[in-house]
Structure 1
Amino acid sequence: MIDMKKAGEWLVGTLGLEVAGKPIGELLREHWRLPKKTVHLLFQHKEILLDGSPAAQHTRTAEGQEIRLRVCQPEPLGLEPVRGGLDLLYEDDHLLVVNKPAGLLLHPTESHHHMTLDHLVAGHFSETGTLAKVRHVHRLDQDTSGAVLYAKHALASALLDDLLRLRSIKRSYVAYVHGHPANERGTITQPIGKDRHHPARRRVTPSGEHAVTHYRVMERYRQAAKLECHLDTGRTHQIRVHLSYLGHPLIGDTLYGGKAADFNRQALHAAVLHFVHPFGGEQMKVEAPLPSDLKRLQETLAEVPRRT
């Protein structure tokens, strides 16, 4: 990985020994895993410079060379900015991680297109002078809270999308469920598809897409449990469907058999993002603190004494 800094419309870095001697085109495609189309356009428009001179695909690199990529050209935000209210967990030249509150849609839909997390990120970009399109890397359900990753330029978006495809972006969730799973740890491997009887639901079905959820019991209460969940796949409603299939639906998730009681959303929070930074190679761990409603739920569950 090469540490790259933003300088106007360019990303600038210094090549290390590990990439010395490689053709620059090979370096971009295989080391950085850039899409072929992206690499072709960068060379075509002379937007790859080595020590200040335009490079060709076959130009060989050397240790200590300065590399410049013109990938931060001004772009329209793509939607109306809404300022204020953004809970920012991490930000640098290439990406940012935002803590999404429960109840807020992540991106505009046909029926809801005025106030979403994307609009708040657009507002942050507007306030900070970031002239970039709003690009979320992954999604969360409207009533799930927690960490969401955004890319700040097209190159970062391509690299982060590739990390997501390779399952190299690890997401850890905290879930509060009804009942007690039989095992302290487990893996649910069941395909998930649409429910033809209910357009908003998904279900376990042999014709569905491959889906894998790992879970670990963190705490047990009298009639509920707190789980940590990790995903190998990213199917719609995956954790909700799999935990319901296990017989332990999320508290508040009435769509999948959970009971609302005094909690009116699924008790699910995207707590931690783990990934290798695409520029520089640092091991990133970004945590989203538990929101106040889940803190209150946990306190309530812990107050009810367990039967001995």
Structure 2
Amino acid sequence: MENKLVFKVEKHQDGKKLREYLKLEKSLSSRLIKGAAMGKRITVNGNVVKLNYVVKENDEVAFDLVKEESQNIEPEKIDIKVVYEDKDLIVVNKQPGIVVHPTKSYPTGTLANGLLYYFKEKGENCIVRLVSRLDMDTSGLIIIAKNQFSHMALAREMSKESFEKSYLAVVHGNLTEKEGTINLPIYRTGGDSIKRIVDERGQESITHFKVVESFNGGDLVKLTLETGRTHQIRVHLTHLGHPLYGDSLYGIDDDKEYIERQALHAYRLKFPHPRTGENIELETSIPEDMEKLIEKIKR
């Protein structure tokens, strides 16, 4: 039953059509239900049925999550640091300098290439479904769903309070307030630029921050995102006058002597498991290049 969702119809659910039961009672998406029905992957009491089947109390509904899938991504052997893994999802600690998914500029050598190789080696028929993403030069925890169901469930949870993403950043200067919330809208400037700014035309963007430790040359700050805008932490901290060390897009260009990339690490995740609903809490330690940076700015 590992790759199946199995439900027992309860008394108050008796008389509902299967489609309605799966969508309203089990919160499965219409797309997921339709695809599984077309693939004859939904059974009731061991028999394949149509979506207009009327469920009865004590019916056993089984939803097979396995389907033939492929992706136009070349599997490549890349060192992947797995932090957590089960039949529904995998969480990896991405190293800085790695793109998460192939692009025109980076067709190979991405995290997705490495994951496809990893799945293939394990004999798992999975494609790469990114639940969260990180910039090329941001390190830390990324969630990848192993099936359509877990991707749907995790993506839905991301906008809720039950889903927590926290980062560690090293910034220039010392923040006046040691703890607080930045609630400033973020706007894309337009054209070919990927740069964002704080602007009233932008989307609501909320970042909670707490200074972990202060040094002569800056602060180590913990940041928890309430919204997930592109470059949110980098834009917010730059707007406050405290850009990240190594952030050539928003910060200071001559930081190479300190660190080769923006000093930002996605160190903590908390989210409910898509199948069981139990909370998963994961943490990684601060990377070596950020530790070296802290040693330099302590002096």
**TM-score (structure 2 length as normaliser):** 0.89
**In the alignment, does 2:285 pair up with 1:289?**
yes
Bigger shift: residues 114-123 or 290-299: 290-299
- Report if aligned partners of 1:77, 1:132 keep a CA contact under 8 Å in 2: no
How much does 1:176 deviate?
0.8
Counterpart of 2:6 in structure 1 is: 13
Counterpart of 1:272 in structure 2 is: 268
**TM-score (structure 1 length as normaliser):** 0.87
Q: 1:266/1:66 Cα in 2 relative to 1: closer, same or farther (>3 Å)?
A: same
Mapped partners of 2:138, 2:41: distance in 1: 41
Opposite residue 30 of structure 2, the aligned amino acid is K
Counterpart of 1:204 in structure 2 is: 198
- Report if aligned partners of 1:79, 1:119 keep a CA contact under 8 Å in 2: yes
- Report if aligned partners of 2:2, 2:87 keep a CA contact under 8 Å in 1: yes
CA displacement, residues 75-97 of structure 1 (integer Å, 9 cap, x when unaligned):
11430001140111111111100
Counterpart of 2:126 in structure 1 is: 132
Bigger shift: residues 72-81 or 268-277: 72-81
- Report if aligned partners of 1:12, 1:66 keep a CA contact under 8 Å in 2: no
SS at match of 1:156: helix
- Report if aligned partners of 1:174, 1:229 keep a CA contact under 8 Å in 2: yes
- Report if aligned partners of 1:77, 1:131 keep a CA contact under 8 Å in 2: no
Runs of 5+ in structure 1 lacking a partner? none
Runs of 5+ in structure 2 lacking a partner? none
- Report if aligned partners of 1:274, 1:286 keep a CA contact under 8 Å in 2: yes
SS at match of 1:249: coil
Please provide the CA RMSD for this pair: 2.4
How much does 1:12 deviate?
4.3
Aligned length, in residue pairs: 295
How much does 1:26 deviate?
3.6
Opposite residue 59 of structure 1, the aligned amino acid is V
> Which runs of structure 2 are paired with 1:187-266 in the superposition (5 Å)?
187-196=181-190, 199-258=193-252, 260=255, 261-266=257-262
Opposite residue 277 of structure 2, the aligned amino acid is G
